Amino acid sequence: MSISGDTQELNSYINNKIDIESVASFKGNEHIIKLNFSFDINLIREALDEIKEKSEFKTGPSGFHALAMTKRPGHSVDDDKDLVGRYYTRVDESYQEISKDELVDESSFSELVDVFKGTYFETIHQELSARYPIGRVRILEKSSFNCNSWHRDPEPRIHIPIVTNPGALFIGKQ
């Protein structure tokens, strides 16, 4: 240990700017895979603006806001569990992983919620459903200066960023 060595080391971290201008340089790994197709971000944002005029996000815990895009046939959005589903996380200093919320039969969420019908989101839902077994689809928002817990989901998830900010991170790890 030496003062000049420590100062030099810290300065090397300070001088290494980690902000990037765009997430376009995103590099996946075996746990986060960039799928080989994309959607029109401008059409997504336009459709979302229109939908937000007609619907309200439901607010859950931890700065988490959700708008259900799919529901179970014969059910209303309100009685479906659109906000939550099973996930695994560690909640205290024991670092023991526990399961939270109920296991959801994702495949039963096969119907588009009315407000999304005829919008670009319907196109996205059709394109995804033609390729993958798609269950619940939700529009999610996080409050500013807020992040999700470190957690594990029971099945693979597809994420389509709509509005993001420099420095916003999506971290995936085994």
State the nearest-atom distance from the C-beta of 172 to Fe ion, in Å: 10
SS3 content of the chain, % helix, strand, coil (to 5): 25, 15, 55
Scan for tokens 């509005």, then name that residue. 163
> Could you give the string, one character per residue 99-138, with x where binding to Fe ion holds by CB under 5 A and - elsewhere?
----------------------------------------
CB atoms under 10 Å from CB of 91, counted, come to 11
Q: Toward Fe ion, which CB reaches closer, 50 or 153? A: 153
Which one of 14-22, 31-39, 55-63, 150-158 is the stretch in contact with Fe ion (CB under 5 A)?
A: 150-158
CB atoms under 10 Å from CB of 100, counted, come to 14
Q: Toward Fe ion, which CB reaches closer, 129 or 148? A: 148
Residue 153 in contact with Fe ion, rule: CB under 5 A: yes
Closest-CA residue to 160 (of 23, 51, 58, 53)? 23
Contacts to Fe ion by CB under 5 A: 153
